Structure 1
Amino acid sequence: MTDNRLVIFDMDGVLIDSEKFYMKSEQRVVESFGKKASIRDFRKYCGMTQTNIWSGIKSDFDLPKSVDELKVQGKESLEYLFETEPVELISGVLETLKGLKEGNVPMAVASSTGKKLILEHLTQLGIKDYFSLIKSAEEVGASKPNPKIFLETAKEFGVTPDKCLVVEDSTNGILAAKHADMYCLAFSNPEYDPIDQSKADKITDDLRVLTPKFVEMVLV
């Protein structure tokens, strides 16, 4: 396969099973104010930057602290969970990455998570070297569903949007990919409540469908 195609992965909920950590940490913060919350209340925030997440949560639960204060509290809660509970790869990820690498398919990561944490997770789980480029939303100054992170990733890699396949799980991430005019494969994790993935070009619960042949078929 020629290198004029690019597969761009979101990280949380696509490569690593980390969405539960974010939702649990957000629930802990909200409950610290005496509010009742279910972990399901926070599913809609998946794929957003921390600023957008806490702005929404502050409004939804009428929290007394500022967004910046909530971000700090949320970060502390999240770090505690990451330190005390194991983070694992999503099922099928390693086989998928190995298959794409063997097929000479270039890969990148474009995530709303901070760059430092992206690098820590990918390094600890032994998959960082599969990716030629790693981009964080904090570097582009825009949060999904804004397509900027995907467009900047493609531009930096030197490919056009129509030659990019994005793997996402969140509604906002899928919208960002489609706003960028890129093909979007949505991963639906059977372990979580379903969310709106209707704008994706294809939905799968098994990442191993993403083979070099699949990439070549959809990115004509």
Structure 2
Amino acid sequence: MRNVYTIHGWSFTPLVWKETILANANHIALPGHGESPYKSTNLIQLSLEIGKDLPHQITLIGWSLGATLATLIASQFPQKVEKLILIAPTLKFMPLSQPEVVVKRFLKKLNNNFFSGITYFRQICGANLNNVQLLKEEKARELLKSYVYFSLSPYVKNFPVKTVIAVGEEDNVTGLIGAYKLFNEMNNSKLIIYPKEDHFSILRRLDSLL
């Protein structure tokens, strides 16, 4: 998969793709999530850092926070991204996907005990708890704060790249509403809803998206 690039979600690493059809794709590691050459924890700046490194005519795949970042990259480097696949995306995490009170409670939980907060979050996702030790607390927390307050609305109107949006019917992290609102504002996009899949299990359905 020489021309396929992936961006994982928050609190995970590129290892999340290991058991999927994308195991041999080119995996981008987020700052604070394992070994990453990228420094910025501001989504706009990070999208510019990554976008400059990408070749042309790629398929770019982002999951969760990675979907927001992939959208930003495609909006700023449309000549490089031939196809965009967004898995469990949201137009704006707060308040569309999660109410403000829930987000602030979770940020407080992270401040009190970072790795306990990560464990709690991964359980909500329906994911395994491996490789938590690869996370770097300060950068991971800063990246999350940039994400939860960020809106894609200004970047998806007249969107130049063909996009597939995929979401699990039982996703209780970014959710159906977040994905639908993004689809509703993003022209040139297609929405696919997978029954019985949650925020994490949807990754096993990637073979139907490529």
Same fold (TM over 0.5): no
Higher relative contact order (CA 8 A, sep 6+): 1
Q: TM-score, normalised by structure 2?
A: 0.36
Decide which structure has greater helix share.
1
TM-score (norm. length: structure 1): 0.35
